[in-house]
Amino acid sequence: MDLRSAVESGWEHQLELLRALVRSPSLLGSERDAQELVAAELADIGLSPQMWDVGSHGPGSSPPLLDYTRRPNVTAIRRGAGRGRSLTFNGHIDVVPVGVEANWSYDPWGAAIEGGRMYGRGAADMKAGVVAMLGALRALRNVELGGTLCVETVIEEECTGNGAAACRARGPRTDAALIPEPFNHLALEAQVGVLWATVTVEGRAAHAERADQADNALVKALPVIEAIRALEREVNADAAFYGHPHPLNYNVGVARAGDWASSVPEQCVLEVRLAALPGEDLAAVRARFEAAVDARVEWRGFQADGFTLAREEPLFDVLGRAHTAVHGAPLEFLAFTGTTDARAFVVHDATPATCYGPIGGNLHAPDEWVDLESVRATTLVLALAAAEWCAIP
Ligand SMILES: [Zn+2]
């Protein structure tokens, strides 16, 4: 059976798996149930999956946000004939929170299908990609490969990257990696660096009857936020990143202050996402931020370098041929103003890695969706690319 037919015959099974994964809310700290679904699928494909807790984080890891007990990565290895290049399929199992559930038209954990799309938190980012790479592995079951094919589903892509970093520390190292993030069939050729800062503004509590004489931390946070926005304008003024007009987004993502309308808030905590250009020294980015912000700053979560990849990478040739075979058009590229786990390979393990995956929308927003036909197409592209990359020379 050729790969196209193999992908076709596995499609209904893939769809069921995607449904089950989207219905498993693998939020930060709750990744295990979804990882067990992945492990069961890998076993069904005929591999021997390992589930292991992310203990040592390895090079390129970030300051953790919470404990790693019972929050496993899943890895499996399909050994090749011994000659030929090796490849890793990497995908993240974690998803970001739902936000305001009333703003969703669909149950965020319902995996509803309508008009060729599946809706749900994580449907696009990136359970569809995980299902595509598992479908590719299944389609390749009876294809002889020279090089070893590794697969991993990791935790914490959305906050530290420590799941992927732990995989690099554990090995094995392969000659390249593919990550099916939902980038609309574009190949990732660059991404910015991302840093998370926790900014604490202190005030002084009081009964609201004498609020005029107290020190409201929430109100004091407003000029801090303005200072962050001013710094964002400054760093973007001369930032060059693939012609992008505003590559470095500084996002005040969380503000926590107060617990009672008649009490003056004594503390306001802001969680801020910063960005940096590829090659920029993260320590300098941190120092610039601390100098601009009149408050206590701690660095927890992402401390992630950006990178660029040359289009001459052989990985792009192989991926491009697979893409063209399926879509009848040349592969196009993406420079991403966010981060992905590709940096664990490219920056910290000297391994070329790119993202290539299905079409999706509303990532990190209500009514996240993935186009199901594009998941099927991605599955075939990944299978073709792996078959060529890992072929017996
Ligand atoms: Zn993602």
What pLDDT does 82 receive? 87
Distance of CA 153 from the midpoint of ligand 1 (Å): 12
pLDDT in tens, 159-186: 999 999 999 999 999 999 999 999 999 9
pLDDT in tens, 64-100: 999 999 999 999 999 999 889 999 999 999 999 999 9
Which backbone phi and psi does 233 adopt, to 5 degrees?
-60, -40
The domain that holds 27 is classified in CATH as 3.40.630.10
Q: Which residues contact 371 (CB under 8 A, 6 or more apart)?
A: 116, 117, 358, 359, 360
Average pLDDT for 262-289: 98
Is residue 349 a contact partner of residue 290, using CB atoms and an 8 Å limit?
no
User: How many Å is the Cα radius of gyration of the chain?
Assistant: 22
Q: Do 128 and 169 have their domain in common?
A: yes
Helix (H) or strand (E) holding 139: helix 129-139
Task: Scan for tokens 């079951």, then name that residue.
Answer: 141
Distance of CA 361 from the midpoint of ligand 1 (Å): 12
The domain that holds 286 is classified in CATH as 3.30.70.360
Q: Do 123 and 106 have their domain in common?
A: yes
Q: How confident is the model at residue 1 (pLDDT cuts 50, 70, 90)?
A: low
Is residue 20 a contact partner of residue 39, using CB atoms and an 8 Å limit?
no
Which backbone phi and psi does 47 adopt, to 5 degrees?
-100, 170
| Tokens describing residue 258 | 């107060």
Q: Do 206 and 296 have their domain in common?
A: yes
Q: Do 257 and 355 have their domain in common?
A: no
First-to-last CA distance in the chain? 21
Burial class of residue 204 (count of CB atoms within 10 Å of its CB; 0-12, 13-18, 19+): middle
Distance of CA 45 from the midpoint of ligand 1 (Å): 24
Q: Do 234 and 322 have their domain in common?
A: no
Lowest pLDDT segment from 14-23, 48-57, 331-340, 350-359: 48-57
Distance of CA 362 from the midpoint of ligand 1 (Å): 12
pLDDT in tens, 196-212: 999 999 999 999 999 98
In the chain, DSSP finds a helix count (H) and a strand count (E) of 9, 18
Residue 255 pairs in a beta bridge with: 270
Q: Do 300 and 311 have their domain in common?
A: no
What pLDDT does 240 receive? 95
Q: How confident is the model at residue 286 (pLDDT cuts 50, 70, 90)?
A: very high
| Tokens describing residue 67 | 């404990």
Q: Do 71 and 206 have their domain in common?
A: no
Rounded Cα distance between 252 and 77, Å, is 40
Domain tally, the chain:
2
3-state secondary structure (DSSP) of residue 149: strand
Q: Do 201 and 97 have their domain in common?
A: no
Q: Give the domain-ending residue among 256, 276, 304.
A: 304
Q: Do 349 and 281 have their domain in common?
A: no
Average pLDDT of the residues of the chain? 97
Q: Do 230 and 122 have their domain in common?
A: no
Distance of CA 224 from the midpoint of ligand 1 (Å): 30
Distance of CA 340 from the midpoint of ligand 1 (Å): 7
Q: Do 80 and 174 have their domain in common?
A: yes
What is the percentage of the chain residues whose pLDDT exceeds 90? 96
Rounded Cα distance between 257 and 269, Å, is 6
Domain range holding 295? Answer: 193-304
- Per-residue pLDDT at 56 exceeds 70: no
Q: Do 150 and 295 have their domain in common?
A: no
What pLDDT does 322 receive? 98
3-state secondary structure (DSSP) of residue 375: helix
Q: Give the domain-ending residue among 304, 336, 369.
A: 304
Average pLDDT for 91-118: 98
Q: Give the domain-ending residue among 248, 272, 304.
A: 304
Distance of CA 216 from the midpoint of ligand 1 (Å): 37
Kindly give the pairing relationship between strand 353-355 and strand 177-179: parallel
Is residue 100 a contact partner of residue 108, using CB atoms and an 8 Å limit?
no
